[in-house]
Copies of this chain bind each other. A is one copy, B any other.
Amino acid sequence: MDQLTDVFTAISHPTRRAIIGQLAAGPARFTDIAKPFDTALNSVTKHLKLLERAGLIERKKLGREVLISFRAEPLRQVAGWVHEYERFWNTQLDQFEQHFKDKKRKEKKK
């Protein structure tokens, strides 16, 4: 699997996107990460593994505690990939706007 696939897979689950949102506020311990989710700890562990494989989180030992922090760098690839298609939705929006402009013009003529 390529890295882009790992990153897209990691962010494809709403719980993992919520974990990213949570960690964006600052590093947290495992128990704090798990707290907001009504899900088994085992399932949180699996979500964190997928985020770690994608390079989106890292674990750091701080004394006897392990702090988990967010790494945004892999999301740059996502931005790069989606940027390739930006011109398409801009074009499609332009066509959409044009459609309504044409419609207005026709209505005025009536």
- Binding-face segment, A29-37, A38-46, A59-67, A70-78: A70-78
Bound-state CA distance A14–B17 (Å) is 21
Of chain B, the residue at the smallest CB distance from A83 is: B79
Q: How many residues of A contact B (CB 8 A)?
A: 29
Residue from B13, B79, B88, B93 in contact with A70 in the complex, judged by beta carbons closer than 8 Å: B88
Main secondary structure of the interface of A (DSSP, over half): helix
Which residues does chain B contribute within 8 Å of A73, judged by CB atoms? Answer: 89, 92-93
B24–A2 touching, CB < 8 Å: no
Cβ–Cβ < 8 Å partners of A24 in chain B: 85, 88
Counting from the closest, the 4 A-B pairs by CB-CB distance are A72-B88, A8-B12, A72-B89, A9-B12
